[in-house]
C-alpha cells in the first residue's frame, strides 16, 4: 500500500514523535488538531485519521500502519490497565507521541460520552487502481458512489471476512477514513486495500482487466448464482439511492439480481454486497 500523500506537510500530531504528554483540557492545541480530524478537509490536508479503541489501534500496529499519536485514558493507566500500559510502551518504542488524557479530552476527541480508553491517530494508506490484479477465484468489490459510512464500513468488514482483495471506490464516495466508517469496519480498514478512482479512470482500467465484472442491478436478468466465480471477479455494486449509473452498468460483463420475495423494493447495499461476496467465495470458504 502507499501513503495517501497529504496536500501539505503534516503538523501537530506527527510533528515531534516519541514524547509522552499529559493533557487535561480539551482546549489544548494538540487536542484541537486531533479533534479536527473529524473533518474530511483536515484528514485530506494531514493524511491522518482517527481509530477508536485499543483493539483497533493494536490491529493497526500489527498490520504495520504508521501510528502518529496514541491518546490514552490517564485514569485507566492509573487504574493499572496492563494492556494499555503495554500499548503505551509499544507506541513510544516506535516513536509515536503518547497523550495521557482526561475523560473530558477523550470525550471531546471521540465526540461521545463513555469514549474508549485509547484513540490512535494513524497515517492513511490507499492503493492505486493500477496495482489491482486478480487471479482466478479471487474477488474484489467496486462501489459506485457509496454515500453511507455505515454501509462502507460494513462492506469493508465483509470483504475482509471473505478474503476479498480490495474495495474500489468509484466516483464521489464517502470517505473510508471518516470516524463512522472506521468504526463500522471494526478493524478491517487495516486489512483490505482501499482504492479510489474517478469514473473515467475506472473505465480506462477496465479495458485492461482480464477478469469478469459482475454488476448488480435491480433489472438484472441473470440470477446472481449463475456466473462462474472461479474466474477473477470484480463485483460492482450501485449507489444506495440510484443504483449503478447507466455508464457503470454498461461496463459490466453481466448484470445479476438477487431474487427477492415480499414487499421490499431492494436490499440494503451492505446486505446485498454480503450476499454477493459469500456467493462469489462459496467454493473457496470452508469451515
Ligand atoms: N433504487 C435503487 C435501484 O433501483 O437500483 C436501489 C439501490 S439498492 C438500495 C443499492 C444497491 O444494492 C444496488 O445498486 C445493488 O448493487 C444492490 N442490490 C440491492 N438489492 C439487490 C438485488 N435484489 N439484486 C441485486 N443487487 C441488489
Which cell goes with 56? Answer: 483497533
Quick one: what percent of the chain has pLDDT higher than 90?
90
Q: Are residues 121 and 145 in the same domain?
A: no
Q: Which domain holds residue 251?
A: 129-285
Residue range 221-261, pLDDT digits in tens:
999 999 999 999 999 999 999 999 999 999 999 999 999 99
Residue range 4-45, pLDDT digits in tens:
645 444 444 444 446 899 999 999 999 999 999 999 999 999
Lookup result for grid cell 466516483: 171
Boundary of a domain, candidates 106, 126, 146: 126
Residue range 143-153, pLDDT digits in tens:
999 999 999 99
- Who lines ligand 1 at CB under 6 A? 216, 218, 220, 237-238, 240, 243-244, 257-258, 260, 266-267, 269, 272
Q: Are residues 12 and 136 in the same domain?
A: no
Contact predicate 146/155, CB 8 Å? yes
Q: How far is the CA of 267 from the centre of ligand 1 (A)?
A: 6
Q: How far is the CA of 182 from the centre of ligand 1 (A)?
A: 23
Q: How far is the CA of 29 from the centre of ligand 1 (A)?
A: 45
Q: Are residues 141 and 61 in the same domain?
A: no
Residue 193, pLDDT score: 96
Q: Are residues 147 and 244 in the same domain?
A: yes
Residue range 62-75, pLDDT digits in tens:
999 999 999 999 99
Contact predicate 109/50, CB 8 Å? yes
Q: Are residues 208 and 263 in the same domain?
A: yes
The domain total for the chain is 2
Q: Are residues 12 and 111 in the same domain?
A: yes
Q: Are residues 39 and 162 in the same domain?
A: no
Dihedral of CA atoms 53, 57, 60, 65 in degrees, nearest 10, equals 130
Q: Are residues 207 and 171 in the same domain?
A: yes
Half-sphere exposure at residue 61, Cβ-oriented, CA atoms within 13 angstroms = 24
Q: Are residues 6 and 120 in the same domain?
A: yes
Q: Are residues 142 and 21 in the same domain?
A: no
Atom index in ligand 1 nearest the CA of residue 237 equals: 16
Q: Are residues 22 and 62 in the same domain?
A: yes
Residue located nearest, by CA, to atom 5 of ligand 1: 243
Average pLDDT along the chain: 93
Lookup result for grid cell 498490520: 63
Q: How far is the CA of 226 from the centre of ligand 1 (A)?
A: 18
What is the mean predicted confidence (pLDDT) over 96-122? Answer: 93
Residue 12, pLDDT score: 46
CATH number of the domain at 119, please.
3.30.1330.30
**Could you give the C-alpha distances from 6 to 46, 50, 93, in angstroms and in order?**
5, 15, 25
Boundary of a domain, candidates 111, 126, 141: 126
Boundary of a domain, candidates 97, 126, 155: 126
Residue located nearest, by CA, to atom 9 of ligand 1: 240
Q: How far is the CA of 149 from the centre of ligand 1 (A)?
A: 17
Pocket test for ligand 1, best of 214, 223, 243 (most atoms within 8 A of CB): 243
Residue located nearest, by CA, to atom 19 of ligand 1: 267
CATH number of the domain at 229, please.
3.40.1280.10
Amino acid at each position: 500500500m502507499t501513503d495517501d500523500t497529504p496536500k501539505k506537510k503534516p503538523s501537530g500530531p506527527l510533528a515531534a514523535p516519541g514524547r509522552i504528554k499529559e493533557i487535561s483540557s480539551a482546549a489544548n492545541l494538540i487536542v484541537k488538531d486531533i479533534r479536527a480530524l473529524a473533518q474530511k478537509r483536515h484528514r485530506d490536508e494531514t493524511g491522518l485519521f482517527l481509530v477508536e479503541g485499543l483493539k483497533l489501534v493494536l490491529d493497526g500496529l500489527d498490520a504495520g500502519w504508521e501510528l502518529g499519536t496514541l491518546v490514552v485514558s490517564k485514569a485507566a493507566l492509573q487504574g493499572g490497565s496492563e494492556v494499555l500500559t503495554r500499548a503505551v510502551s509499544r507506541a513510544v518504542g516506535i516513536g509515536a507521541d503518547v497523550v495521557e488524557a482526561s475523560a473530558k479530552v477523550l470525550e471531546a476527541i471521540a465526540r461521545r460520552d463513555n469514549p474508549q480508553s485509547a484513540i490512535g491517530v494513524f497515517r492513511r494508506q490507499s492503493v492505486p487502481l493500477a496495482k489491482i490484479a486478480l487471479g482466478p477465484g479471487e474477488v474484489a468489490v467496486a462501489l459506485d458512489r457509496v454515500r453511507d459510512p455505515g454501509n462502507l464500513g460494513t462492506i469493508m468488514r465483509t470483504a475482509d471476512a471473505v478474503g476479498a482483495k480490495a474495495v474500489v471506490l468509484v466516483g464521489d464516495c464517502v470517505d473510508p477514513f471518516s470516524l463512522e466508517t472506521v468504526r463500522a469496519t471494526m478493524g478491517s480498514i487495516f486489512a483490505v486495500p482501499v482504492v479510489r478512482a474517478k469514473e473515467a479512470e475506472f473505465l480506462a482500467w477496465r479495458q485492461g482487466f482480464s477478469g469478469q465484472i459482475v454488476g448488480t442491478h435491480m433489472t438484472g436478468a441473470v440470477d446472481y448464482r449463475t456466473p462462474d466465480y472461479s474466474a477473477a471477479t470484480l463485483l460492482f455494486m450501485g449507489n444506495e439511492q440510484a443504483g449503478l449509473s447507466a455508464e457503470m452498468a454498461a461496463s459490466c460483463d453481466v448484470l445479476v439480481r438477487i431474487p427477492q420475495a415480499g414487499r421490499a423494493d431492494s436490499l440494503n447495499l451492505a446486505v446485498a454486497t454480503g450476499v454477493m461476496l459469500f456467493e462469489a467465495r462459496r467454493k473457496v470458504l470452508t469451515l
